[in-house]
């Protein structure tokens, strides 16, 4: 085969490949082409920072070293081992779990109770529901600042307690190692109980009315109907609400930083405040990156276990649907 024939075969092959590529492109809808740039940008924001964080967690690097990230010394799992031996990190993690458990439990009980109250029609119900949702509309910065003013030594909380006990009461809540956590919990619960209330109210409104009417006809009391019919059917909604709120409370930073900045000492330091202080004030980027991946793994395991009953129900439902 001479050079002309070789060149001709290459041109034919290139034309065939271009025609196939053009046909493939033509099959892609125009709407998909509009989405592709945004998806690529989002993937870039997800993959690149995550890759850098993974690399940082396995090296010893911080900005004060004056060397590029790619020249950092590889230390393997040393950062992870040091973290498990770091009492400040473990206490911040346990403290965050404690705050999350108490806050989410209180929000769930308050939200469910108010949802049951508002499930029935009564005068000015819509206005009452709107008032209950108001705290959720405020940004965390404003909520933290309001509770900071409320719990000052000469603030309204101490004045109300003084009126109740009959004499002047002056107590520095935010500087007390024993009670500094209380304003943080109250701020978080007051700020986000409306979300739980809204989810629970939506779940109650979505319950099938036929079962409730049948229970009423058969003589079931309100408590029996609530605990034996409503609550079992609300379990998927409750699980989703708990997971959503746990993820948000676990990231809580604004209220803690404004109220106590993690103090006095480290008694109110959550994992977010620990990461801020260690990473952005002490510049220990590698150490914080390793801590972030530990937290991510722990959260994925816990939230998977929480959602396991719901996923099991979904699988059973899909199996029943496919069998029918």
- The confidence score (pLDDT) of residue 192 equals 94
Position 95 pLDDT exceeds 90: yes
Do residues 232 and 283 both lie within one domain? Answer: yes
216 HSE (CA, 13 A, CB side): 7
In a domain, 74, yes or no: no
Q: Domain check: are 104 and 47 in the same one? A: no
Please check the confidence at residue 99 and state whether its pLDDT lies above 90: yes
For the cut 70, the answer to whether the pLDDT of residue 6 exceeds it is no
- Residue 294, Cβ neighbours under 10 Å: how many? 18
Question: Which pLDDT score, from 0 to 100, does residue 286 have?
Answer: 93
Do both 41 and 92 map to the same domain?
A: no
Comparing C-alpha atoms, which of 261, 304, 245, 324 is closest to residue 316? 324
Tokens of 53: 């964080």
The two counts, helices (H) then strands (E), for the chain are 14, 2
Residues ≥6 apart with Cβ < 8 Å to 248: 192
Asked if 223 and 306 sit in the same domain, the reply is yes
Let me know whether 18 and 167 are in one domain.
no
Report the pLDDT averaged over residues 121-131: 88
Please count the CA atoms within 13 angstroms of the CA of 27 that sit on its side-chain side: 6
Rounded Cα distance between 240 and 222, Å, is 25
Enclosing domain of residue 7:
3-51
Looking at the predicted structure, is the pLDDT value of residue 257 above 80? Answer: yes
Residue 16 clears pLDDT 90, i.e. is over it = no
What span, in angstroms and rounded, lies between the C-alpha atoms of 196 and 238? 9
Q: Span 162-182, mean pLDDT?
A: 91
- CATH assignment of the domain containing 196: 1.10.3720.10
Q: Which two tokens stand for residue 195?
A: 């979300």
> Residue 1's pLDDT is what?
52
Average pLDDT over every residue of 269-287: 92
Instruction: Indicate if 187 and 134 belong to the same structural domain.
Output: yes
- The answer to whether residue 67 is domain-embedded is no
Q: Kindly state the tokens that stand for 146.
A: 């309001």
| Mean pLDDT of the 279-286 span | 90
Q: Are residues 123 and 241 in the same domain?
A: yes
pLDDT at 51: 92
Domain shared by 36 and 162, yes or no: no
291 CB-near residues (< 8 Å, 6+ apart): 83, 89, 271, 274, 275, 278
pLDDT bracket for residue 208 (50, 70, 90):
confident
Q: Is residue 90 part of a domain?
A: yes
Q: In this predicted structure, what is the pLDDT of residue 263?
A: 86
In a domain, 111, yes or no: yes
| Pair 98, 39 in one domain | no
120 and 237 in a common domain: yes
Asked if 257 and 144 count as a contact pair (C-beta separation under 8 A), the reply is yes
Q: What is the mean pLDDT of residues 51-64?
A: 91
Taking the C-alpha atoms of residue 18 and residue 93, their distance in angstroms, rounded to an integer, is 56
Q: Is 70 inside a domain boundary?
A: no
Q: What are the tokens at 243?
A: 């997971």
Q: How far apart are CA 87 and CA 281, in angstroms?
A: 19
Number of domains, the chain: 2
What pLDDT does residue 3 have? 61
HSE-CB for 243 with a 13 A CA cutoff = 18
Q: What is the pLDDT of residue 308?
A: 80
Write out the DSSP string of 68-133: -GGGSEE-TTHHHHHHHH-HHHHHHHHHHHHHHHHHHHHHHHHHHHHHHHHTS--TTHHHHHHHHH
Clarify whether residues 106 and 47 are in a common domain: no
- Considering only CA atoms, which of 206, 195, 200, 202 is closest in space to residue 132? 195
Residue 316 binned pLDDT confidence (cut-offs 50, 70, 90): low
User: Does the residue 286 lie in any domain?
Assistant: yes
- For residues 40 and 176, state if they share a domain: no
Instruction: Tell me what pLDDT residue 291 has.
Output: 93
**Dihedral angle sign, alpha carbons of residues 115, 116, 119, 121:** negative
Q: How far is CA 28 from the centre of its chain?
A: 36
More confident residue, 65 or 23: 65
């Amino acid at each position: 085969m001479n050079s002309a024939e070789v060149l001709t075969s290459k041109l034919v092959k290139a034309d065939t490949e271009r025609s196939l590529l053009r046909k493939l492109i033509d099959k892609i809808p125009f709407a998909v082409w509009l989405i592709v740039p945004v998806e690529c940008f989002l993937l870039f924001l997800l993959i690149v920072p995550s890759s850098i964080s993974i690399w940082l967690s396995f090296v010893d690097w911080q900005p004060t070293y004056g060397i590029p990230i790619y020249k950092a010394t590889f230390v393997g799992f040393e950062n992870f081992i040091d973290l498990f031996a770091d009492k400040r990190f473990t206490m911040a993690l346990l403290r965050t779990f404690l705050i999350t458990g108490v806050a989410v439990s209180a929000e769930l009980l308050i939200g469910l109770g108010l949802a049951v109250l508002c499930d029935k029609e009564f005068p000015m119900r819509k206005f009452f529901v709107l008032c209950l949702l108001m705290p959720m509309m405020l940004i965390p910065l404003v909520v933290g600042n309001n509770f900071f003013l409320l719990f000052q030594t000469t603030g309204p909380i101490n004045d109300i307690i003084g009126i109740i006990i009959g004499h002047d009461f002056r107590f520095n809540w935010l500087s007390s190692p024993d009670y500094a956590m209380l304003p943080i919990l109250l701020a978080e619960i007051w700020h986000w109980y409306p979300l739980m209330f809204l989810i629970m109210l939506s779940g109650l409104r979505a319950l099938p009315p036929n079962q409730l009417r049948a229970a009423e006809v058969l003589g079931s009391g309100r408590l029996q109907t609530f605990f034996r019919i409503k609550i079992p059917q609300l379990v998927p909604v409750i699980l989703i609400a708990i997971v959503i709120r746990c993820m948000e409370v676990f990231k809580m930073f604004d209220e803690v930083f404004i109220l106590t900045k993690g103090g006095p000492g480290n008694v109110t330091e959550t994992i977010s405040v620990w990461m801020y202080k260690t990473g952005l004030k002490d510049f220990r980027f590698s150490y914080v990156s390793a801590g972030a991946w530990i937290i991510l793994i722990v959260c994925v395991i816990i939230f998977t276990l929480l959602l396991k009953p719901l996923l099991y129900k979904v699988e059973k439902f899909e199996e029943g649907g496919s069998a029918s």
